[in-house]
Structure 1
Amino acid sequence: MYKDLVYVIPKEKCSEESLKKILAEHPEIKFVSLVGIDLSGNDTDEKIPVKLFLEDINTFLNGAVQTDGSSVVLPGIASLNNAKVDIVADHEVNWFVDYNYEFIDPFTNKPVGTLRIPSFLFHEGRAVDSRYILKNSIRHFKNTLLDLFKKYPGSLAAYGIKYEDIDDLVPTSATELEFWVKTPDEKAVVEELSTSQVLQEQYWTRTKGAVRTAMEQSLLLMEEYDLEPEMGHKEVGGVKAKMDESGRLTHIMEQLEIDWKYSTSIQAADNELLARTIIKETFRRNGLDVTFQAKPIDGVAGSGEHTHIGMAIKLKNGKRINLFTATKEHYLSVIGYASVMGVLKNYEVINPFVSATNDSLRRLKPGFEAPVCIVTSLGHSVDMPSRNRTILMGLIRDLENPLATRFELRAPNPYTNTYLCLATLYMAMIDGITYAITKEKDEDALLDELSKKPGKETDYLEKDRAYRTEEDVFEDFNDEERVKYFGKAPATVYENLSAFDKYSNKLKIFKAGDVLNDKLIESFKLAVTKRWITEITGRIIPNYSDEIRSYKMLHSLDKALDLDVSNWMAINNIRYYLMKDTYTSKGLFTRIKEAIEAKDYSKVSMLQLELDAKMKELRELYASYKKNLLDI
């Protein structure tokens, strides 16, 4: 830590006068970066010298800075022949200074800093970025709900207020980060990791060595940025590290989690982006690699990023009221019930924005507490808050603190685009709220509808589905029952995106208020499809090829038993099935590549599922084969 560094520029000080003063007093801040978020969640990071920034500060702060849109993910919008994108600074959130602790300015003896200004991306005069989509969804949510309160004053009676008492609606959100950390170029055996996980040998145990140092440094640095960290701890995954001759810990492979305080929704998403950078860079400076992948290791717990969402009324007298908290003997208020119903009814078209990569869907499989079913849990009784970790959308309640009532979406992962995730949640929530208020539904009617059994017809939720359970989704329902009650979870990126066509009638909730139009949805779909295909051809197949080639015959012919020979023959058959082409047949890799070239994405999806199943079978066979050998 360095003294006298400025880490945060609060929104109240984002004016030209304040910035000139701050930059003059802190010559270690050498660069400015305008940070826009494209539809894939990538953040722009250009280095503009402070001198140039100050020469034209009015344009940077109040105008539009042009950039090449071909460098951001906006397919179908910013094309090569129409690529100009304008970046516009956002003055309604905090700005941060990012420091390079490996580059010390010799004149100030401080690390060189870059002022990162959260911004919006405009193409042909229209905002096309993730941050603005979230901002627009909040605007639509607020305007719609305030109009409903005005038209249906009875909807406020439960809170004991009138429409004229309201000053504002305040959306709040919070995320946390789970991540794997390891020493570079070292691998742990999956079986060892799996055993440690089942025995819960790592969960909430004491951190040591470089991991402890990096964790503590990260938490302290987050405090400097006013992120208000609440906790850092070990998660369920990991194995015990080893010690080298000098007493240093090596062979580190651990799963960690860091949490911080909630904020307003756009600020919360910005804070998460900053937290990821702080954590990754801090651990790297301590010689550790961090991955925020959702499922970096098959067969071992993945990393989630539970997304919390709340909504409060700010009154003119300064008081705040949680809109979700029940005022009677209920789990939730009318708006609370309606919000969760809106999300669950429309989750098929929300899901592509939450889980948009191969990696994310590897995590969302039955087991490991993965939330694969569109279902909520409220609790066995009003005075006993739910602790069900197998559902998609959980209700978080503190009986002693009404302001703490909120929802937790359990499906997101550390690389989920939080801006789009929150935006689509708000649009679904206001759809449910509109139904409840205009139909003048009370808490009992909404609870009854939310708790309905499959086959029961209701006014809002779909007839053939169930939406609430207090049971364990994986232990108390078989595969057939899960699909019947809660729907079939998508297994590939293509299956997930197909919901846009299969449930096209549900897309109208996003288009209300022009928050997400057809062009933006199509651009998002194109971006996700391109990444899906590119990952298969550029990473998954090459990585699997290397893995398959590493599976070699280990037994000697003179000592081998019939079981060893049989095991190896089964292994080799799969290796050939996956990789080898002949004059009469083609390997699975080739068939996938041909389907990609033909743009037969339905076939690619089907073959990808077969590929994953075959690789799982191959790994299990090879592990059994090795265990039966005495001499390797």
Structure 2
Amino acid sequence: MPIKNKILPLEELLYVIKKDEHSHEEIKTLLNKHPQIKFVSLAGLDLRGNATDERIPIELMLEDLEDFLRLGIQTDGSSVVLHNIATLNDAKVIILPDIDCNWYVDYNFSNIDVNTGLPIGTLVIPSFLIHNNKMVCSRSILKKSIKRFKKECKNILNENPHLKEELGIKSEDEIKEIHMTSATELEFWVQTPEDKADEEKLSTSQTLKEQYWKRTEGTVRTAMEKALLMMSKYGFEPEMGHKEVGGVRSTISVTGTQNHIMEQLEIDWKYSDSMQCADNEHFIKQLVMDVFNNHGLEVTFLAKPIEGVAGSGEHTHIGIMAELQNGKKVNVFSHKDFDKRYMSSIGFASLMGILKNYEVINPFVTSTNDALNRLKPGFEAPICIVSSIGHTADFPSRNRSILIGLIKDMENPFATRFELRAPNPNSNTYLVLATCYQSILDGVETICPKLSLDEIEKEFSKEAGEEGYYLEKDRQYRSEEDVFEHYNQAQRNSLFGTPPSTVYENVRALDDYPEKLEVLLKADVFTKPIIDSYKTATIDIWSNELKGRIIEDNMTLIRNLTKIHDDEISDLDIVNWNRLNLLKWDLMKDSVDKKSLFTLLREAIYEEDFAKASEYQILMNEKIKELKILYSNYKKNLF
């Protein structure tokens, strides 16, 4: 058996097999050279972003490598989220390896190979899910959107000399290829197991900004440093790890160990091409979780794990480059007059495409109860469909209150990109990017061949009520103000649209905006069966979580809000208790002639009256929030 705490020779491990190393000879050579890699796992991403995970002995892969990579493996589709596609009587799904991406080795540092003294590794191959000869997974949708975007964007540039002129490209120069880059970042909470959050302490610490960018300490520091070092081993090129705004100071026990750890962290890494970006993010989340778990810390990627405290976002960056036949590359969002123009026509049209079609993008960005809990005013939450590009072209700003903004480095035109602020760590990045690319292309195809740059910029900056060639008349799409301070809620809803309050309201947009849905369906990037499957799965998960978890958690909360006053009470204590007790009954207690709100919500779900269930959920959330405030005020007045 290996000696505990033995220092392992990490430099001897194979961490990645790059996409240009996928010849059969190279694969066999690498795997034979690293016998600690005992298994292979084909990671196919379903429509919810869940990856398949298996342990297939590596010998089976190597016995017939050609057929393994060509045919993949079969599985029962009922185990993945492909509602209405992989059914009980038609469940066969093939998991097909993708040979055009990096493969990573996932090491189990708790399982040491007795022959090599190295941790057992599993080769993780990002894969596609195929049902009835059709690709039906998240990765395949992104792949199709990338292929279409590259072809159409290249044609638009080559066929419109005025667009190339804006970018400083000579009219005779041909575009060879379009490169699509993206990057995400990872925010997450860590805590010691079994510790419960004190919402008031966390909220106070956040208000006082006691944690943001502060020095990490103890176990958290060690785990974060190890995670960054491991990311470097895999070639992810980490750029930064730091404390985020949420958290409270830990305590030191009499034995010198840290207790009551509850901190929010962020880790960033370098951008890559779109598919690799999504693959990298998926693997990095597992890597971070493993490292922190090995140090006795729980990790959560929930968007809003603690009510009343900052949630975790995952801002998604989108950039587009054009490569000329002579090898020169240009950023298609950057105008040649970089300090005089905000961006190019294609840049403006891209933003307009996302903003106009965001109602059908949002169901893929925000698909859970947890995600919607984060998107509330007051926490820099991007709930309004509005953009910001800076006060002047040479004065780039970072407006943290808007949905999507222009990121511009005056020293580096290649860095011009867009930052979509709404996604969270559990958003399906594959589908987020695919919907954005479809929407960007809609704006570029519709606007750029027809309007001049000045006309496009004028429309982008129009006021609500002004007619537009592409954008909707009654909406405003640009604001350089803090949208939460400058406008009240009624104004925000009027100018930027009313944001959805529940998952059901959000996913209903796929039915309520058929003309915008058509943008996603172009060239069969998304298909109607895929959209139907995604809607069904999202509503199914939302409703089951409501009845099986959220209502149950709220019942536990109510049962714990007990009467704690004794004889030393005032009339106010009695009034406070009676008010909150009545609210507890209204939420949870049935009588002969009246059903509680929880019962009404459950019945609406059982009857599949999801519109009514959505209304009850909104009411329940309001009452639970009121109940917490009442109980806090009740306790504060007691000795």
TM-score under structure 1 length normalisation:
0.98
SS of 2:42's equivalent? strand
Q: What is aligned with 1:578?
A: 587
> Structure 2 vs 1, CA of residues 68 and 402 (structure 1 numbering), >3 Å: closer, same or farther?
same
The 5 Å alignment of 1:136-215 reads 136-159=144-167, 160-162=169-171, 165-215=174-224
Matched to 2:200, the amino acid is E
The 5 Å alignment of 1:302-451 reads 302-328=311-337, 329-439=340-450, 441-451=451-461
SS of 1:35's equivalent? strand
> Structure 2 vs 1, CA of residues 62 and 162 (structure 1 numbering), >3 Å: closer, same or farther?
farther
Q: Is the 8 A contact 2:173 2:324 kept in 1?
A: no
Q: What is aligned with 1:50?
A: 58
Matched to 2:95, the amino acid is I
SS of 1:609's equivalent? helix
* Cα deviations by residue, 1:200-256 (Å, 9 ceiling, x for unpaired): 000000000000000000000000010000000000011111110012211011110
Residue 163 of structure 1: CA displacement?
Answer: 6.7
Residue 188 of structure 1: CA displacement?
Answer: 2.9
Q: Is the 8 A contact 1:180 1:290 kept in 2?
A: yes
Residue 566 of structure 1: CA displacement?
Answer: 1.2
| Count of residue correspondences | 628
> Structure 2 vs 1, CA of residues 616 and 409 (structure 1 numbering), >3 Å: closer, same or farther?
same
The partner residue of 1:249 within 258, 269, 272 is 258
Q: What is aligned with 2:234?
A: 225
Q: Is the 8 A contact 1:16 1:61 kept in 2?
A: no
The partner residue of 2:37 within 29, 33, 46 is 29
The 5 Å alignment of 1:458-537 reads 458-537=468-547
Residue 162 of structure 1: CA displacement?
Answer: 4.2
Matched to 1:623, the amino acid is S
Matched to 1:427, the amino acid is Q
Q: What is aligned with 1:128?
A: 136
Q: How far, CA to CA, are the matches of 2:249 and 2:139 in structure 1?
A: 41
Q: How far, CA to CA, are the matches of 1:226 and 1:612 in structure 2?
A: 44
Task: Say what the alpha-carbon RMSD is for the aligned residues.
Answer: 1.0
Q: Is the 8 A contact 1:194 1:300 kept in 2?
A: yes
Residue 80 of structure 1: CA displacement?
Answer: 0.9
Matched to 1:364, the amino acid is L
Q: Gaps spanning 5+ residues in structure 1: where?
A: none
Q: How far, CA to CA, are the matches of 1:36 and 1:16 in structure 2?
A: 21
Residue 6 of structure 1: CA displacement?
Answer: 0.3
1:39 aligns with 2:47: yes
Residue 396 of structure 1: CA displacement?
Answer: 0.4
Residue 154 of structure 1: CA displacement?
Answer: 3.2
Q: How far, CA to CA, are the matches of 1:50 and 1:90 in structure 2?
A: 17
* Cα deviations by residue, 1:377-427 (Å, 9 ceiling, x for unpaired): 011111110221000001100011000000000000000000000000000
Q: How far, CA to CA, are the matches of 1:161 and 1:63 in structure 2?
A: 46
Q: What is aligned with 1:589?
A: 598
* Cα deviations by residue, 1:115-150 (Å, 9 ceiling, x for unpaired): 000111111111100001001001111111222234
Q: How far, CA to CA, are the matches of 2:73 and 2:296 in structure 1?
A: 38
Residue 62 of structure 1: CA displacement?
Answer: 1.9
Matched to 2:436, the amino acid is L
SS of 1:112's equivalent? strand
The 5 Å alignment of 1:59-98 reads 59-98=67-106
* Cα deviations by residue, 1:66-98 (Å, 9 ceiling, x for unpaired): 211111100010101001111111111100000
Residue 286 of structure 1: CA displacement?
Answer: 0.5
* Cα deviations by residue, 1:427-452 (Å, 9 ceiling, x for unpaired): 0000000012231x222111100000
Q: Is the 8 A contact 1:150 1:163 kept in 2?
A: no
Residue 165 of structure 1: CA displacement?
Answer: 2.9
Identity within the alignment, %: 54
Q: How far, CA to CA, are the matches of 2:176 and 2:71 in structure 1?
A: 30
Matched to 1:107, the amino acid is N
Q: What is aligned with 2:225?
A: 216
Q: How far, CA to CA, are the matches of 1:552 and 1:454 in structure 2?
A: 50
Q: Is the 8 A contact 2:352 2:443 kept in 1?
A: yes
Q: How far, CA to CA, are the matches of 1:317 and 1:167 in structure 2?
A: 8
Q: Is the 8 A contact 1:295 1:362 kept in 2?
A: yes
Matched to 2:413, the amino acid is P
Residue 152 of structure 1: CA displacement?
Answer: 2.6
Q: Is the 8 A contact 2:158 2:174 kept in 1?
A: no
SS of 2:409's equivalent? coil
Q: How far, CA to CA, are the matches of 1:4 and 1:316 in structure 2?
A: 41
SS of 1:538's equivalent? helix
Q: What is aligned with 2:286?
A: 277
Tell me whether 422-431 or 568-577 shows the greater mean CA deviation.
568-577
SS of 1:382's equivalent? coil
Matched to 1:111, the amino acid is P
SS of 1:157's equivalent? helix
